[in-house]
Chain A
Amino acid sequence: EPEVTQTPSHQVTQMGQEVILRCVPISNHLYFYWYRQILGQKVEFLVSFYNNEISEKSEIFDDQFSVERPDGSNFTLKIRSTKLEDSAMYFCASSLTSGRAVLSYNEQFFGPGTRLTVL
């Protein structure tokens, strides 16, 4: 069964450093997402991406964050200058589509996550 993959599984970095988190969405999916979950807290939406551009972003997704689809398979999240409060699990998700057409196509499938620790 196709699945979303993410690398690395764990990233440790120093405050102020740049990190890039990588994701390979399910191959025929068109919408890609990043969510994060701070330890003990709820899953929070960061950004959605469709047709090579951001379709929606949350207040968390400030100028320190960027997303890119550098090739036909990878989807990346870059944090330019990490802060202590960026420490969290970062989940990539993908869906076939988004909208009314076929409702089940809205379903979002999550990758295993990258645990980011900022020291």
Chain B
Amino acid sequence: QKEVEQNSGPLSVPEGAIASLNCTYSDRVSQSFFWYRQYSGKSPELIMSIYSNGDKEDGRFTAQLNKASQYVSLLIRDSQPSDSATYLCAVKLGLTGGGNKLTFGTGTQLKVEL
């Protein structure tokens, strides 16, 4: 059973539009949620973290968390061609018993078109 699920895409949006990326997770005790951006051939780059229900905004990025639905999302406003990348959802399963490892989804490829 997969622990972190993402639609692999590609998700295509026009420049200037809002991109919406979604992630679901299976372990209800998960406490910490992260979005990483990964350009092709590069390493994951942390862009957002979220720990409590609701929205968290940072510039053009908004992370949304709904623990009851086991759902986390990332909105990218005013999408730019430079946002074209694979977005990885990562979950820290548990706070103590789950240790400190991150469990990643397969990522959603985002393409921002001119």
Contact = CB atoms under 8 A, between A and B. Distances in A.
Contact of A110 (B45, B96, B106): B45
Contacts of B45: 110
B100 A56 contact: yes
Contact of A44 (B36, B104, B107): B104
B93 to A, nearest CB: 10
Contacts, number: 64
Contacts of A42: 88, 104-107
Interface in A79-108: 89, 91, 95, 98-100, 103-104, 106-108
Contact of B42 (A99, A104, A112): A112
Contacts of A43: 44, 88, 90, 102, 104
B111 to A, nearest CB: 17
Chain B interface bracket (under 10, 10 to 19, 20 to 34, 35 or more)? 20 to 34
B48 to A, nearest CB: 10
Contacts of B59: none
A95 B100 contact: yes
B99 A56 contact: yes
Interface of A: 31, 33, 35, 41-45, 48, 55-56, 58, 89, 91, 95, 98-100, 103-104, 106-113
